[in-house]
Structure 1
Amino acid sequence: MSYRPLSALGHCVPLLRAGLIAGIILAAVAYPIVAAAGIGAKVGAEFSEHRADLLRASLPAETSYVYAADGKTVLTMFYEEYRQYTKLKDIAPSMQQAMVAAEDSRFYQHRGVDPKGVVRAFVANSQSGGVSQGASTITMQYVRMALRDSATTPQEVQEATAQTSLRKVREMRLALDVEKQMSKEDILERYLNSAYFGHRAYGIYAAAQIFFSKKPKDLTPVESATLAGLVKSPSEYDPVTSDQQEALGRRNYVLERMGQLGYLSPEAAAQARTEPLRIDQSDPRNDCASIPQQHNSLGFACDYLKNWWSSQSAFGENRLERIDELRRGGYRIVLSIDPKIQEAAEKNIDAEGSTGSPFAHGLVVTEPGTGRVKAMAVNRKYSLDTSENPPTSNPEADPKVKANYPNTVAPLLGGGTLPGYQAGSTFKMFPMLAALDAGMPLSTSFNAPHRYRSEVYNGWSPSNASGAMSGTQTMWSGFGKSVNTYFVWLEEKVGADRAVRLAEQLGLRWRTDVDRDHASPEKAKTWGAFTLGVSDATPLELANAYGAIAADGRYCEAIPVLSITNRDGTPATYRTAGGLEREVAKPRCRQVVDAGAAQAATDAARCPTGDTPARGGCGGWSTADSVRGTVGRPVAGKTGTTDSTRSAWFVGYTPELAAASFISDPDNPFNAVGDGQSQRPIDAVAGTLRDALKGQPSRDFTPPPDRLVG
């Protein structure tokens, strides 16, 4: 019997020890100087280091949204963590109450650290021999998430999440300081927007959407309790893939606590606990491949947006940083694709061939004077699933490679890494424009033979497509009939290097080793075949280059957006080399050639389309004389075919729009499309311009100045 008091005392020893430890921790928190020698000194230094960033800029990563041109239709999203920041006023009160009940019932009483909670946790953990309870308040959890979200190195992430006493004490000290700087409402708002609920749902907006397909303001108390219960262990209490009994039990615990805290009446809490778990799950779209099926063709425009974004210095130092910013920055992006023009492009591409053809047939429309991309259409489905694609048509390709039809995400229309397709005689525009810019008039004539030997280009001897092209030609007739020997001669006069540099100024890029070699400063002067379009180009490049001519020589960089807005509602901006701040989504234009030279080039470019130039004559026939009748208004342009008609092109423009269409086999450039298909790009461009401009008043081109007529 005499041993019983000692035994009872022995049972109290763990509790006394726990209380002593808790007291030490509380002392370290309340009186930092006590811990200055050792852990306190280290924590104090780190505290000073992190405090300013935490309090000033601890907003978490947010989802970026991509909208159609109407600014309302959501096409897709970009995110690493699906999250949309939501103000507390737009979150159901029951959700706020449920989170407090689940995670920190004394949230409104303590000042960042809950002494009672610390003691309770130490006692419980000491008795259990493990970690059965935590002492983290909502404020401390917010501090941890804010440090994690603001981390820029793996070491900082490790320090923010490591299970160490140092991290815990630092969180306590930061929590005390946060409570001095921010209201309880601000802390709860940021916590609700930072918490992870599972299924890639970061923050309450994503959680409400993913688990209940609704907005946070519309959550019921039962739904709020379900979500609040997830934060402790999203995988263990997952109501979708885990044991629903666990999720149900956790939800009912939160409802019970809400009743105990007075957020629900005892009757309402009891009734709520009898309800079954009801989940209305949705899977939020992410990236270009998840664009809805009815807008599938916009996947190619979305892909171009990503490639364009990755080249913009406003969003980071390199491609990886910029894409990361797209996925975390919370931007609101409105595409420049015009629904009417896109519909016209799709209709005219679909009318010319099915998705099951090895020949890709695509079309891009841009806006002269802004460079904005108005349509991107191709006879392909934008999809990552290539299982239904046939083997590649290229016998030299890896047998594991699949052809890019009918499904592909390859940037067939431009803006990516693919070099494009040989563009044929569409390149005749560049030496002609260079000659006009140098002051040579449209009437510049040459008796062009069927075959021409060039001494400038080391005896190279190109020929015309037919003997009917021989004879005296001017820029009007030479361009209208696409006379090779005339343009080789003209290129000699102005200099091939000048034509190459002008093409670069109009946005063309050389993506193959062969093209880069020929375009180099050392060799460009001897690149005689440049005028015949032996270089690769994309429809995006050619539409935009010809669009600059339609805009009287004013070139605007191709741009896929109408607007880009930061998460705070302000326009996204960048700084120019001169230090000026400009909006990223605004057109970036510069005068590349004299306006009169561009007007003169347009006058000659009316000849291929069957249109009538303002000042000269086309010589009786042209290569695409059906275009003017189809479009029904003034139109200019140029056809292009390569050797054996391996690819065929047409680029056409009015004062309002410029369009480029091609047909080629991207898998096997030696697979000739044949002369019988060369009309398809012509018809696609003509039909698209007609349909896109229907109902708009007809505008004429500005006639060329007298000095360039001759």
Structure 2
Amino acid sequence: MSNRPLAGAGRLVPLLRAGLIAGIVIAGALYPLAALTGLGAKATAHAVEQKTNILRDALPAETSYLYAPDGRTVLTMFYEEYRRYTKLSDMSPNIQQAIVAAEDSRFYQHHGVDPKGVARAFVANSRSGGVSQGASTLTMQFVRMALRDSARTPKEVQEATQQTSLRKVKEMRMALDVEKELSKEQILERYLNSAYFGHRAYGIYAAAQIFFSKTPATLTQAEAATLAGLVKSPSEYDPVTSDQKDATGRRNYVLDRMTQLGYLSSDAATAAKAEPIRLRLTDPPNDCASLPEKYNRWGFACDYLKNWWSAQPAFGENRLERMDKLRRGGYRIVLSIDPKMQEAAENNVGAKDSTGSPFANGIVLAEPGTGRVKAMAVNRNYSLDVSENGLSSNPEAGPKVKANYPNTVAPLLGGGDLPGYQAGSTFKMFPMLAALNAGMPLSTAYDSPYRYQSAIYDGWAPSNASGAMTGRQTMWSGFGKSVNTYFVQLEEKVGADAAVRLAEQLGLRWRTDVDREQASPGKAKKWGAFTLGVSDATPLEMSNAYAAIAADGRYCESMPVQSISNRDGNPTTYTTVGGITREVAKPRCRQVVNADAARAATDAARCPTGDTPAKGSCGGWSTADSVRGTVGRPVAGKTGTTDSTRSAWFVGYTPELAAASFIADPDNPFNAVGDGQSQIPVNAVAQTLRDALKGQPTRQFTPPSDAISG
């Protein structure tokens, strides 16, 4: 009997010890919760409030898609994290159940923080002497991922991911707050769209695509368990290995947990575990170099899109922010390229010079009245692989600089940072249009001797290309024959600075130091050679400038898109000065010259092409008189060559379409094209306009008034 109390005491010791341990565990578990009030909460309340607002409203980064004009054919994607937001209703119940089983079996019982899980982790970590088990619920993990996705600075990224007690306290507090704002279904949906599964797959849509080439809605139980098992450690359980032992073991663990939670019968789990992991891998394209081979040469239009995007204030305050939006914003972008016109352009430049030629022969088509780019083609492959390219022949480039043929991603057609090419007499359009807009008639006549010495331009003495250009010329004959001395006199009368400023209003930009200096207010008045096209320009600029003339003087900014919608499917908008909200992809147009002046310029511009003007006479011959017969409809335009024919151009237009083509060596401007190849751009434009407009009704140019015709 005397031993019974001792025996009772002996039994009591383990109980007391167990109670003490339990108390410590509970205290340890509740400490973070208690810390959410009092000093800890006061110290973090403001930050938590700010972050909670972000979490409640922000969505994770999402891939932007670039579509062909049909709005269905995906050309490529832009992303840093391949991800596409998917509603929970579009996910198989299998993946919903598998992720709960794998990451948080008490997800539907707790309110953001699981005290039992905290206690269990405390015991496990105490025994291991380190962090062997976490206590993060799905909600807490979502909080962490959302903070990471919303981080914009390295400091914010560090704060969102660093392993500290303070971060854990904030995370738990925010999880509790989030569960007050969002339903379990909303949290699960956002979690599954944020989680990283490895192999650049962010979110369940990307994971299903990359690993199984299917949508989340069609994932089987075994596939869902495989993906759910990856979240804990994407590299450790990676199934894309020759040995899938770890991946299979983790998948089977998830299937067992699904069975324990009642999501899966034992028989179904056994059958699923018997399956090997059958992957069907997809490598999602990213950026312009990833376009399908069929659309390879659309890469130049894609590249122009990126450069255009980076200049749009609607997408951010600077280039970095704008490109970040493109790669994270989940936009749906439809290119303005017309497949029929693009094919015509590719056929008619590719047939003139092979991709292996040092001379780039390119063409751009623009739509009058909208500015939308309808085709961009050049005799190059759009590719980052320059291993087979030769070296540049330009000594100024250096001895080891690769040439840009046959492969390149350089913006040879415009829209990037390359200066372009001297455009020759295509620039005669600008002083003529400036003169017409100032009220000078088409009949304005000047005598054109073989040599003409300008007093205004400090004795500069341009010459004509041929003695046949002498005699009295009007705008019709002077433009048709490309008489230099006529246009210098016309430019003197209207003012070279007026021609320069008009060219700027029609979209031209000065990219070299020499051009910027000559175009400056202090020097533009004496830039007599401007009318001869000594400035660099791109076919993108020139096609759009001439498109404005075709549109009766209404200039529209060059635009590579048909539409842009946000991730919610609504058109992307921006606010202009005055608080007016506009769609980003809508044409942005303004009247630059009066309609009658533009119609008069077109009437004169019919002379170079062999077409018949409505009012005057072309004087008997022209520089590109085969164009009208090839195009088969009313057409206007202008040829252009530079000194020693280092480059050659033709810009032509109908009422429906404007096209600018050039040929030059982008690597070495001193490598002359030569007179023998100067006809190539003429034919490229004529044949492309013919093919692109085939089957469309023939439209006529509107004649100028008698008053401006003179």
Q: TM-score higher than 0.5 here?
A: yes
* Counterpart position of 1:150: 150
Q: Give the C-alpha shift of residue 43 in structure 1.
A: 3.4
The count of aligned residue pairs is 706
- Between 1:102-111 and 1:239-248, the stretch displaced more is 239-248
CA distance in 1, matches of 2:460, 2:13: 107
Whether the aligned pair in 2 keeps the contact of 1:19 and 1:119 (CA below 8 Å) is no
Segments of 5+ residues of structure 1 without an aligned counterpart are: none
* Counterpart position of 1:29: 33
* Counterpart position of 2:231: 231
Alignment of 1:643-654 (within 5 A): 643-654=643-654
* Counterpart position of 2:110: 110
Consecutive aligned runs of 4 or more in structure 1 exceeding 6 Å deviation: 5-15
Whether the aligned pair in 1 keeps the contact of 2:355 and 2:380 (CA below 8 Å) is yes
* Counterpart position of 1:550: 550
Q: 3-state DSSP class of the match of 1:296? A: helix
Alignment of 1:89-108 (within 5 A): 89-108=89-108
What residue identity is the alignment partner of 1:672? Answer: A
Alignment of 1:388-427 (within 5 A): 388-427=388-427
Deviations 1:79-98 (A, max 9, x none): 11111000000001100000
Distance 1:9 1:476, change over 3 A: farther
* Counterpart position of 2:3: none
1:52 aligned to 2:53? yes
Alignment of 1:410-449 (within 5 A): 410-449=410-449
* Counterpart position of 2:528: 528
CA distance in 1, matches of 2:94, 2:431: 71
1:667 aligned to 2:671? no
CA distance in 1, matches of 2:302, 2:22: 59
Q: Give the C-alpha shift of residue 175 in structure 1.
A: 1.1
- Between 1:224-233 and 1:107-116, the stretch displaced more is 107-116
What residue identity is the alignment partner of 1:418? Answer: L
Q: 3-state DSSP class of the match of 1:170? A: helix
Q: 3-state DSSP class of the match of 2:562? A: strand
Whether the aligned pair in 2 keeps the contact of 1:19 and 1:122 (CA below 8 Å) is no
Whether the aligned pair in 1 keeps the contact of 2:207 and 2:227 (CA below 8 Å) is yes
Q: Give the C-alpha shift of residue 8 in structure 1.
A: 12
Whether the aligned pair in 2 keeps the contact of 1:389 and 1:407 (CA below 8 Å) is yes
What residue identity is the alignment partner of 1:281? Answer: L
* Counterpart position of 2:282: 282
Distance 1:8 1:602, change over 3 A: farther
Q: Give the C-alpha shift of residue 25 in structure 1.
A: 3.8
- Between 1:9-18 and 1:584-593, the stretch displaced more is 9-18
* Counterpart position of 1:702: 702
Q: 3-state DSSP class of the match of 1:254? A: helix
* Counterpart position of 2:605: 605
1:362 aligned to 2:368? no
* Counterpart position of 2:505: 505
Q: 3-state DSSP class of the match of 1:185? A: helix
Q: 3-state DSSP class of the match of 1:280? A: coil
What residue identity is the alignment partner of 1:347? Answer: N
Whether the aligned pair in 1 keeps the contact of 2:36 and 2:169 (CA below 8 Å) is no
CA distance in 1, matches of 2:539, 2:469: 27
What residue identity is the alignment partner of 1:20? Answer: I
Q: Give the C-alpha shift of residue 393 in structure 1.
A: 1.5
CA distance in 2, matches of 1:85, 1:133: 30
CA distance in 2, matches of 1:318, 1:12: 66
Deviations 1:298-333 (A, max 9, x none): 100000000000000000000010000100111000
Deviations 1:593-644 (A, max 9, x none): 0100000000000000000000011011000000000000000000000000
Alignment of 1:156-555 (within 5 A): 156-241=156-241, 243-555=243-555
Segments of 5+ residues of structure 2 without an aligned counterpart are: 1-5
Q: Give the C-alpha shift of residue 146 in structure 1.
A: 1.1
CA distance in 2, matches of 1:599, 1:40: 73
Q: Give the C-alpha shift of residue 267 in structure 1.
A: 0.6
What residue identity is the alignment partner of 1:690? Answer: R
Deviations 1:205-230 (A, max 9, x none): 00001111111101111100000000
CA distance in 1, matches of 2:196, 2:354: 45
Q: Give the C-alpha shift of residue 30 in structure 1.
A: 6.0
Distance 1:538 1:134, change over 3 A: same
- Between 1:268-277 and 1:545-554, the stretch displaced more is 268-277
Whether the aligned pair in 2 keeps the contact of 1:19 and 1:123 (CA below 8 Å) is no
- Between 1:381-390 and 1:143-152, the stretch displaced more is 143-152
1:683 aligned to 2:687? no
CA distance in 2, matches of 1:66, 1:493: 49
Alignment of 1:55-94 (within 5 A): 55=56, 57-94=57-94
CA distance in 2, matches of 1:387, 1:51: 51
Q: Give the C-alpha shift of residue 254 in structure 1.
A: 0.5
What residue identity is the alignment partner of 1:29? Answer: L
Q: Give the C-alpha shift of residue 27 in structure 1.
A: 5.0
Whether the aligned pair in 2 keeps the contact of 1:236 and 1:246 (CA below 8 Å) is yes
What residue identity is the alignment partner of 1:626? Answer: S
CA distance in 2, matches of 1:41, 1:154: 25
What residue identity is the alignment partner of 2:264? Answer: L
Whether the aligned pair in 1 keeps the contact of 2:35 and 2:41 (CA below 8 Å) is no
Whether the aligned pair in 2 keeps the contact of 1:112 and 1:139 (CA below 8 Å) is yes
Whether the aligned pair in 2 keeps the contact of 1:611 and 1:636 (CA below 8 Å) is yes
What residue identity is the alignment partner of 1:550? Answer: A
Q: Give the C-alpha shift of residue 9 in structure 1.
A: 6.5
* Counterpart position of 2:635: 635
* Counterpart position of 2:24: 20
Q: Give the C-alpha shift of residue 32 in structure 1.
A: 3.9
Q: Give the C-alpha shift of residue 150 in structure 1.
A: 1.5
TM-score normalised to the size of structure 1? 0.97
Q: Give the C-alpha shift of residue 42 in structure 1.
A: 2.0
Whether the aligned pair in 1 keeps the contact of 2:28 and 2:122 (CA below 8 Å) is no
What residue identity is the alignment partner of 1:154? Answer: P
Q: 3-state DSSP class of the match of 1:297? A: helix
Q: Give the C-alpha shift of residue 48 in structure 1.
A: 2.4
Distance 1:644 1:31, change over 3 A: closer
CA distance in 1, matches of 2:303, 2:24: 61
CA distance in 2, matches of 1:70, 1:45: 48
CA distance in 2, matches of 1:47, 1:14: 37
What residue identity is the alignment partner of 2:238? Answer: D
Whether the aligned pair in 1 keeps the contact of 2:28 and 2:119 (CA below 8 Å) is no
CA distance in 1, matches of 2:634, 2:229: 67
Distance 1:698 1:181, change over 3 A: same
CA distance in 1, matches of 2:548, 2:580: 24
Q: 3-state DSSP class of the match of 2:397? A: coil
CA distance in 2, matches of 1:126, 1:113: 20
CA distance in 2, matches of 1:204, 1:652: 50
Whether the aligned pair in 2 keeps the contact of 1:434 and 1:494 (CA below 8 Å) is yes
CA distance in 2, matches of 1:570, 1:63: 16
Whether the aligned pair in 1 keeps the contact of 2:646 and 2:664 (CA below 8 Å) is yes
